[in-house]
């Protein structure tokens, strides 16, 4: 299952490290990544592949918990919904 993970929050040291370390621990493979600072807000988007046996809800919960710990908002959604809205 391919997913889009977005991380938004106030910029500070170590956000990418914390998120990617967590993804590695969850055996989630990153396929693409983009990161910018928009109007002072740290914004990162990742396209990632969940392992076949992964429990989506468990991954989501772990990422949201991590976001709460480091003070950023982490969202995860299956990638198909973004294609559905924007691609013919």
Partner 1 sequence: MESNQIKETIEMISEENLDIRTITMGISLLDCITGDTSTTAARIYDKITAKAANLVAVADAIENEFGIPIVNKRISVTPVALLAGSDPKPNFPAIAQAMDRAAKAVQVDLIGGYSATVQAGCTPADVALINSLPEALATTERVCASVNVGATRSGLNMDAVKLMGQVVKDVSAIDPVNAMKLVIFANAVEDNPFMAGAFWGVSEGDMAINTGVSGPGVVQRALADQPHATFEQVCEQIKQTAFKVSRMGQFVGKVAAERLGVPFNIVDLSLAPTPARNDSVAQILETLGLSHVGTPGTTAALALLNDAVKKGGIMAAEKVGGLSGAFIPVSEDANMIAAAAAGQITIEKLEAMTAVCSVGLDMIAIPGKTPATTISGMIADEAAIGIVNNKTTAVRVIPVPGKDVGETIEFGGLFGRAPIMAVNDGDASVFVNRGGQIPAPIHSFKN
The site for partner 1 (CB under 8 A) is made up of 4, 6, 31-34, 36, 43, 45, 47, 56-57, 60, 75-78, 80-82, 84-86
Exposure letters 41-58 (e unless 16+ CB within 10 A, then b): ebbbbbbbebeeeeeeee
Paired sense of beta strands 72-78 and 41-49, if any:
unpaired
The nearest distance, CB 69 to partner 1, in angstroms, is 21
User: Smaller CB distance to partner 1: residue 70 or 75?
Assistant: 75
Closer of 17 and 31 to partner 1 (Cβ): 31
């Amino acid at each position: 299952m391919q997913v889009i993970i977005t991380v938004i929050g106030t910029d500070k040291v170590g956000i990418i490290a914390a998120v990617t370390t967590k993804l590695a621990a969850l055996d989630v493979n990153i396929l693409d990544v983009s990161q910018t600072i928009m109007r002072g807000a740290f914004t990162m988007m990742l396209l990632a592949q969940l392992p076949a046996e992964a429990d989506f809800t468990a991954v989501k919960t772990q990422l949201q918990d991590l976001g709460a710990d480091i003070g950023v908002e982490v969202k995860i959604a299956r990638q198909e919904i973004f294609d559905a809205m924007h691609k013919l």
